[in-house]
């Protein structure tokens, strides 16, 4: 039996004819989703049908509904937009139009429909499902379909997936396309920031989102914007004054730029639109800032899908087929969604109703309800954004003196995208609350040497978008000089510790926790924020940096594939990082369309290579004359014997002359560059959650100072102003992680049993289904000819 969550292809499926359409506004990631639906349908011995141009194709019928073959979706992973077309179809809004659609579906023998679109498209799908029996009865009565057909097609199963850059469907954290649109926005705003900085300009940037501020909020978090306007949370009256005051405070503190992000549907409390030109006028006239407006427009819809959208579209597309095969005539039509890292299904009707209620709540000025209807993560992000966006020297958020803490932040291990973003968020949150953030430079060796300094507001300016580690990071452990670590923590009155890093950071925090009995200074709350491209930290399904690295690999794979195709029939074996964890190879393999992946978890042997070579030869024999290039991804530690080089040599030696093979080693490229917006957003959330957690643990464990019980050397007398925090219970040294649909703090000691320390990986993996899909979707073991 496959692991739970993996696909059981051995089950005897009921053969179905499955139509697929994309509707409404296009979104990057629709194509990967269509590809997964088509290929998974064929793998499950069903017949997929393209319905071109959205509901228009359904109404037009004829050639607009056509059986899809396996190779029809080749190249879909890398393309933005939708290759099967989309349209806004008036006829489908009318009952007659929908009836014609039903007739066309029955005539083509289609008994299930997959719809990828926005809330409008899914509303149409829901109507079609509800009305289906009536349409069938009417068509039979009119003699347009036979009695047998009427009996055979008594119900239609519909599965919805949300393709929308706005991320506006209630009850899912992410919709297909939102992440790529966010990438387009961040690319542009990152570029704007450098010119804004040179000229000390203010920029007002409008992003898409008519009824939903997700893109604007996440863009503001990812770029470190100073001010934000979204439809769900209109500003207070006289916002112009408070905006000017806020931006001026940041400029007075030394910032050279001001950045305002506005959602296109931004409103004030009286439902009047807030437009970029108006904001510009305010900033120019009241503050005298040289202000420019940039409206990003359709750029946001364009370009190749980001890794995450390819992953999301692919996983959801495969799940759509499973949902169809599981369904009975009474199963309500589901919409596939995602909460944190868990693919979910929920009744389509409910999701649409909830989404509709957001717009109604805004119209009736019930903004609190509008926020409550969005996902929990959305309002959490907004709260944290507001708390850290601006410099608030006299902030109401400041805590009473006795609750303020000295919190040290340290990077450990290799650099990973998002380390700096997390640090900036933590520092600014600390400063606005009155805590003192201490930056530890150069990892644990730096800590031992006492390389610690207070970080101020400006010192972390620009860190949101900066790759690498600004504090400096190091792989060395604290173990050889525990005493020095304890001395420095004590000397600098550190009351809580945030370590950002990968497996080295994990073992380091574990060692500190284990040595609490010997070193009193370690009896402070400690949290590990996982950050490593390898994503091998126990206690979380995601580490910061792993999305950035996946994006780098996927972009490289796209380019290498293009080269391979141009050279005609060439296979590249691409080596990727990950240590003993195959996560990166699998994720990037899935979203980059790798023929197969080699991971340390599975190893490599001759039987496996023989299988893959047979597959490659078969594919190239069948496709002679076509210029297909292929890639396989190989983790750096997949095998001690079958190295990347050797796999390529064996591939070529056994190719029978049908293809050539080359290698490409991506190396440290994967750790570098600008962090992906997703890593920046996750970094912000993890940092804010971690500071909140450290704060609570500290307050629980605080010993209120009393002149009598302070026994300190006189040169450290000032220490009495920092109440001693003494926390030695296991739950006060933890790893923050995303597990399924939750963000959790797991005591680090509890993770020992789940860790393979020799191989430096968690003992269980959550991405088994993704691994399986890499092979299924490239046709390994699938009867492609049937499709």
Q: Residues forming the annotated binding site for Mg(2+)?
A: 119
Per the annotation, where are the binding residues for substrate? 164-166, 201, 208-210, 264, 292, 298-301
Interatomic CA distance for residues 21 and 53, integer angstroms: 7
Token pair for residue 715? 């040169």
Token pair for residue 53? 């141009």
Per the annotation, where are the binding residues for ATP? 25, 88-89, 118-121
Q: How many chain residues are in contact with ligand ATP, going by CB under 6 A?
A: 17
Q: Do residues 333 and 126 touch, judged by C-beta distance below 8 A?
A: yes
Report the nearest approach of ligand ATP to the CB of residue 121 (Å): 3
Interatomic CA distance for residues 779 and 204, integer angstroms: 48
Report the nearest approach of ligand ATP to the CB of residue 90 (Å): 7
Report the nearest approach of ligand ATP to the CB of residue 335 (Å): 12
Compare residues 301 and 555 and give the one whose CB is closer to ligand ATP. 301
Report the nearest approach of ligand ATP to the CB of residue 83 (Å): 17
The full 3-state SS of 406-430, as one line of letters, equals EEEEEEECCCCCCHHHHHHHHHHHH
Q: Is beta strand 258-263 parallel, antiparallel or unpaired with respect to 202-207?
A: parallel
Token pair for residue 702? 């605080």
Compare residues 118 and 437 and give the one whose CB is closer to ligand ATP. 118
Helix (H) / strand (E) containing 58: helix 54-60
Interatomic CA distance for residues 489 and 496, integer angstroms: 9
Q: CB-based contacts of 123: which residues, under 8 Å, 6+ apart?
A: 352, 356
Residue (of 337, 491, 494, 324) closest to 409 by Cα position? 494
Report the nearest approach of ligand ATP to the CB of residue 91 (Å): 8
Q: For the purposes of burial, counting CB atoms within 10 Å of the CB of 344, is it exposed (0-12), middle (13-18) or buried (19 or more)?
A: middle
The footprint of ligand ATP on residues 358-417 (CB under 6 A) is none
How many CB atoms are located within 10 Å of the residue 191 CB?
A: 11
> Among residues 45, 66, 69, 93, which is the contact residue for ligand ATP, using CB under 6 A?
93
Interatomic CA distance for residues 510 and 506, integer angstroms: 6
Stretch that binds ligand ATP, among 88-96, 182-190, 343-351, 480-488 (CB under 6 A): 88-96
Q: Say whether residue 88 binds ligand ATP (CB under 6 A).
A: yes
Compare residues 306 and 573 and give the one whose CB is closer to ligand ATP. 306
Does residue 166 carry a catalytic annotation?
A: yes
Report the nearest approach of ligand ATP to the CB of residue 206 (Å): 17
Q: Which residue is nearest to ligand ATP (CB)?
A: 120
The footprint of ligand ATP on residues 97-136 (CB under 6 A) is 117-121, 123-124, 127
> Among residues 7, 70, 92, 572, which is the contact residue for ligand ATP, using CB under 6 A?
92
Report the nearest approach of ligand ATP to the CB of residue 161 (Å): 11
The string of DSSP letters for 219-241 reads HHHHHT-SEEE-TTSPPPTTHHH
Q: Do residues 16 and 324 touch, judged by C-beta distance below 8 A?
A: yes
Q: Do residues 258 and 224 touch, judged by C-beta distance below 8 A?
A: no
* Degrees, nearest 5: CA angle 213-219-222: 140
635: left (phi over 0), alpha (psi -120 to 50) or beta: beta
Report the nearest approach of ligand ATP to the CB of residue 265 (Å): 12
Report the nearest approach of ligand ATP to the CB of residue 22 (Å): 9
Compare residues 124 and 723 and give the one whose CB is closer to ligand ATP. 124
Interatomic CA distance for residues 643 and 623, integer angstroms: 28
Residue (of 530, 528, 529, 525) closest to 695 by Cα position? 525
The full 3-state SS of 199-218, as one line of letters, equals HCCEEEEEECCCCCCHHHHH
The alpha carbon of residue 460 and the mean position of all alpha carbons in its chain are separated, in whole angstroms, by 24
Compare residues 125 and 769 and give the one whose CB is closer to ligand ATP. 125
Q: Say whether residue 164 binds ligand ATP (CB under 6 A).
A: yes
Q: Say whether residue 474 binds ligand ATP (CB under 6 A).
A: no
User: Which residue in 26, 60, 111, 166 is the catalytic one?
Assistant: 166
Per the annotation, where are the binding residues? 25, 88-89, 118-121, 164-166, 201, 208-210, 264, 292, 298-301, 475, 532-536, 570, 577-579, 636, 662, 668-671, 760
Report the nearest approach of ligand ATP to the CB of residue 132 (Å): 13
Starting at the edge strand found earlier in the chain, the sheet holding 258-263 runs 227-229, 258-263, 202-207, 291-295
Report the nearest approach of ligand ATP to the CB of residue 327 (Å): 22
Compare residues 25 and 593 and give the one whose CB is closer to ligand ATP. 25
Residue 87 sits at φ, ψ, to 5 deg, of -160, 165
Compare residues 122 and 513 and give the one whose CB is closer to ligand ATP. 122
Interatomic CA distance for residues 474 and 501, integer angstroms: 10
SS3 67: strand
> Among residues 38, 89, 244, 499, which is the contact residue for ligand ATP, using CB under 6 A?
89
Compare residues 177 and 413 and give the one whose CB is closer to ligand ATP. 177
Report the nearest approach of ligand ATP to the CB of residue 422 (Å): 32
Interatomic CA distance for residues 183 and 547, integer angstroms: 12
Q: Is beta strand 334-339 parallel, antiparallel or unpaired with respect to 342-347?
A: antiparallel
Compare residues 167 and 477 and give the one whose CB is closer to ligand ATP. 167
The alpha carbon of residue 151 and the mean position of all alpha carbons in its chain are separated, in whole angstroms, by 44
Residue (of 680, 687, 648) closest to 664 by Cα position? 648
Residue (of 538, 627, 628, 536) closest to 586 by Cα position? 536
Per the annotation, where are the binding residues for beta-D-fructose 2,6-bisphosphate? 475, 532-536, 570, 577-579, 636, 662, 668-671, 760
Cα distance from N-terminal residue to C-terminal residue, the chain: 26
* Residue spans of beta strands (DSSP E) within 255-404: 258-263, 291-295, 334-339, 342-347
Q: Say whether residue 755 binds ligand ATP (CB under 6 A).
A: no
Starting at the edge strand found earlier in the chain, the sheet holding 496-501 runs 452-454, 436-440, 406-412, 496-501, 526-530, 733-739, 742-747
Q: CB-based contacts of 753: which residues, under 8 Å, 6+ apart?
A: none
Compute CA distances 400 → 404, 407, 455, whole Å: 7, 16, 20
- x-marked contacts with ligand ATP along 21-60 as a string, rule CB under 6 A: --xxx-----------------------------x-----
Compare residues 117 and 317 and give the one whose CB is closer to ligand ATP. 117
Q: Say whether residue 642 binds ligand ATP (CB under 6 A).
A: no
Interface residues with ligand ATP (CB under 6 A)? 23-25, 55, 88-89, 92-93, 117-121, 123-124, 127, 164
Catalytic site positions: 166
């Amino acid at each position: 039996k496959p692991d739970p969550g993996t696909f059981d292809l051995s089950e005897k499926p009921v053969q179905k004819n499955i139509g697929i359409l994309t509707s409404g506004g296009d979104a990057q990631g629709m194509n990967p989703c269509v590809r997964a639906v088509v290929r998974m349908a064929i793998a499950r011995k069903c017949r997929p049908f393209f319905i071109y141009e959205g509901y228009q194709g359904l109404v037009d019928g004829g050639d607009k509904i056509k059986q899809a073959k396996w190779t029809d979706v080749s190249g879909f992973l890398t393309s933005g937009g939708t290759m099967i077309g989309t349209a806004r179809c008036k006829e489908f809004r009318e009952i007659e139009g929908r009836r014609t659609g039903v007739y066309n579906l029955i005539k083509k023998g289609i008994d299930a429909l997959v719809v990828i679109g926005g809330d409008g498209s899914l509303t149409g799908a829901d109507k079609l499902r509800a009305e289906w029996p009536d349409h069938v009865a009417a068509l039979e009565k009119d003699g347009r379909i036979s009695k047998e057909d009427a009996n055979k097609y008594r119900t239609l199963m519909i599965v919805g997936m949300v393709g929308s850059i706005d991320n506006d469907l209630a009850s899912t954290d992410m919709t297909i396309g939102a992440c790529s649109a966010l990438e387009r926005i961040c690319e542009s705003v990152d570029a704007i920031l450098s010119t804004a900085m040179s000229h000390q300009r203010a920029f007002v940037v409008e992003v898409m989102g008519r009824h939903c501020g997700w893109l604007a909020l996440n863009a503001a978090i990812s770029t470190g914007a100073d001010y934000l306007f979204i439809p769900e949370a209109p500003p207070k009256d006289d916002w112009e004054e408070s905006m000017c005051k806020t931006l001026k405070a940041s400029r007075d503190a030394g910032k050279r730029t001001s950045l305002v992000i506005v959602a296109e549907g931004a409103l004030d409390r009286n439902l009047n639109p807030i437009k970029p030109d108006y904001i510009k006028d305010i900033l120019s006239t009241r503050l005298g800032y040289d202000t420019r407006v940039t409206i990003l427009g359709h750029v946001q819809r364009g370009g190749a899908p980001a890794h995450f959208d390819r992953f999301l579209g692919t996983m959801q597309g495969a799940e759509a087929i499973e949902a169809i095969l599981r369904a009975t005539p009474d199963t309500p039509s589901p919409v596939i969604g995602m909460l944190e890292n868990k693919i979910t299904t929920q009744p389509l009707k409910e999701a649409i109703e909830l989404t509709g209620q957001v717009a109604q709540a805004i119209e009736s000025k019930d903004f609190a309800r509008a926020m409550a209807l969005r996902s929990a993560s959305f309002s959490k992000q907004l709260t944290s954004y507001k708390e850290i966006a601006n410099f608030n020297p006299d902030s109401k958020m400041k805590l009473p003196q006795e609750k303020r803490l000295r919190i040290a932040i340290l990077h450990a291990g290799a650099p990973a995208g998002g380390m700096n973003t997390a640090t900036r968020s933590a520092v600014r949150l600390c400063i606005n609350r009155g805590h003192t953030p201490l930056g530890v430079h150069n990892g644990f060796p730096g800590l031992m040497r006492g390389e610690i300094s207070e970080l101020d507001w400006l010192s972390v300016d620009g860190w949101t978008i900066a790759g690498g580690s600004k504090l400096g990071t190091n792989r060395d452990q604290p173990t050889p000089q525990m005493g020095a670590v304890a001395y420095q923590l004590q000397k600098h009155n550190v009351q809580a510790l945030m370590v950002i890093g990968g497996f080295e950071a994990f073992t380091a925090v574990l060692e500190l926790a284990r040595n609490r009995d010997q070193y009193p200074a370690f009896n402070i709350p400690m949290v590990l924020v996982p950050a490593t491209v390898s994503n091998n930290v126990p206690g979380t399904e995601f580490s910061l940096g792993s999305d950035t690295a996946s994006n780098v690999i996927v972009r490289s794979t796209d380019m290498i594939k293009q080269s391979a195709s141009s050279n005609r029939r060439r296979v590249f074996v691409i080596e990727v990082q990950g240590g003993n964890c195959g996560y990166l190879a699998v994720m990037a393999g899935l979203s980059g369309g790798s023929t197969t992946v080699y991971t340390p978890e599975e190893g490599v042997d001759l039987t496996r290579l023989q299988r893959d070579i047979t597959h490659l030869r078969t594919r190239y024999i069948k496709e002679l004359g076509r210029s297909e290039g292929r890639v396989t991804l190989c983790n750096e530690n997949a095998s001690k014997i079958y190295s990347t080089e050797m796999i390529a040599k064996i591939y070529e030696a056994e190719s029978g002359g049908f293809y050539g093979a080359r290698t490409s080693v991506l190396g440290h490229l994967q750790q570098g560059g600008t962090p992906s917006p997703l890593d920046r957003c996750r970094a912000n959330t993890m940092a804010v959650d971690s500071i909140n957690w450290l704060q609570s643990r500290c307050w629980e464990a605080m010993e209120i100072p009393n002149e009598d019980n302070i026994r300190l050397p006189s040169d450290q007398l000032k220490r009495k102003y920092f109440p001693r925090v003494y926390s030695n219970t296991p739950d006060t040294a933890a790893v923050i992680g995303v597990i399924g649909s939750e963000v959790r703090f797991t005591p680090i000691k509890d993770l020992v049993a789940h860790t393979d320390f020799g191989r430096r990986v968690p003992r269980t993996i959550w991405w088994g289904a993704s691994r399986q899909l890499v092979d299924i979707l490239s046709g390994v073991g699938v009867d492609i000819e049937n499709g």
